């Protein structure tokens, strides 16, 4: 009976709304889903992060397949990111275990990291066009350092995503825009999504071992988010990015401040 109570219309509707926003903006669902699970559902912070990571692995797999078939993934970039992010994720899981941050706990470390990551994501969303212009001017100076810097960026993302489930979307894209100014934006998006699949899967399975995944809740969220992502993707083609970017940034700022003050 408890499982039936979890798969509620509210959780399905929440999945649909988050999926719609992901489809509209392209920003990772973790920026929206994890705070929603904590603030609306009262889910423990660790369980919210673990559940969202496996939710993200499922939804991003669909996006990665689509980009792969469309030849809009630079697999070298995705591999370099993974070379840093997967060790970072495994080390973070081990650290959470040593600190006793497991399923059923609402660690202040996680909520603070989540709040900071959301605020950084908001800045990244607003500043991405400016960052891309600045990056274009200084591309030649760091060309020889691009590969090791990509691995380092992956490590930082691995730690951040495993701790908060946030970072693979807006922050990951911003780092790629800085490191690869000459690559078309659609290929950076595809590479970022393709890299996020193994990262969120490894991090999510790590949280599962810590006992911080609610499988029934994840299923009900997926039930709503898949049609939401499809609808959002179709609608986004008709809406100007200059309108969507500030709206999303404001949402991330509000939620980030709310997480830091909770």
CA-closest candidate to residue 170, choices 133, 116, 121:
121
For residues 221 and 8, what is the distance between their CA atoms, to the nearest angstrom?
9
Q: Which range of residues forms the domain containing residue 163?
A: 10-261
Q: What global pTM score does this model have?
A: 0.83
Q: At what angle do helices 170-179 and 108-137 cross, to 10 degrees?
A: 30
Q: For the chain, 262 residues long, give each residue's pLDDT as a single digit of tens.
A: 444 444 678 888 888 887 787 777 666 666 778 888 888 778 888 888 998 899 888 878 877 887 788 888 899 999 999 999 999 999 999 999 888 887 666 678 888 888 888 888 888 878 777 777 776 665 555 567 889 999 999 999 999 999 988 877 778 888 888 888 888 878 888 888 889 899 999 999 999 999 888 888 888 888 888 888 778 767 766 766 677 777 778 888 888 888 888 6
What is the C-alpha to C-alpha distance for residues 96 and 163, in angstroms, rounded to an integer?
8
| Residue 2: inside a domain | no
Q: What is the rounded CA–CA span in Å between residue 162 and residue 194? A: 17
Number of domains in the chain: 1
pLDDT digits (tens, 9 = 90+) for 137-194: 655 555 678 899 999 999 999 999 999 888 777 788 888 888 888 888 788 888 888 8
Can you tell me the distance from the alpha carbon of 229 to that of 145, in angstroms, rounded to the nearest whole number?
36
Would residue 4 count as lying in a domain?
no
Residue 26 within a domain: yes
Alpha-carbon distance values, 255 to 154, 170, 207 (Å): 25, 15, 23
């Amino acid at each position: 009976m408890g499982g039936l109570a979890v798969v509620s219309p509210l959780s399905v509707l929440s999945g649909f709304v988050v999926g719609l926003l992901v489809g509209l903006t392209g920003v990772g669902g973790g920026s929206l889903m994890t705070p929603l699970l904590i603030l609306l559902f009262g889910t423990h912070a660790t369980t919210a992060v673990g559940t969202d990571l496996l939710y993200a692995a499922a939804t991003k797999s669909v996006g990665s397949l689509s980009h792969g078939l469309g030849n809009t993934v630079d697999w070298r970039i995705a591999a370099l990111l993974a070379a840093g992010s997967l060790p970072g994720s495994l080390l973070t899981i081990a650290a959470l275990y040593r600190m006793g941050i497991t399923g059923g706990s609402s660690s202040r470390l996680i909520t603070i990291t989540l709040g900071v990551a959301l605020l950084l994501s908001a800045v990244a969303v607003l500043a991405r066009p400016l960052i891309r212009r600045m990056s274009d001017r200084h591309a030649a100076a760091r060309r020889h350092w691009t590969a090791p810097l990509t691995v380092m960026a992956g490590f930082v993302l691995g730690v951040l995503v495993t701790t908060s489930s946030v970072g693979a979307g807006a922050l990951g894209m911003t780092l790629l825009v800085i490191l690869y100014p000459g690559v078309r934006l659609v290929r950076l998006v595809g590479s970022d999504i393709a890299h996020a699949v193994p990262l969120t899967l490894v991090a999510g399975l790590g949280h599962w071992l810590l006992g911080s995944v609610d499988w029934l809740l994840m299923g009900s969220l997926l039930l709503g988010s898949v049609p939401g992502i499809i609808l959002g993707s179709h609608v986004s083609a008709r809406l100007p990015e200059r309108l969507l970017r500030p709206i999303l940034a404001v949402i991330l700022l509000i939620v980030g401040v709310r997480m830091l003050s909770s």
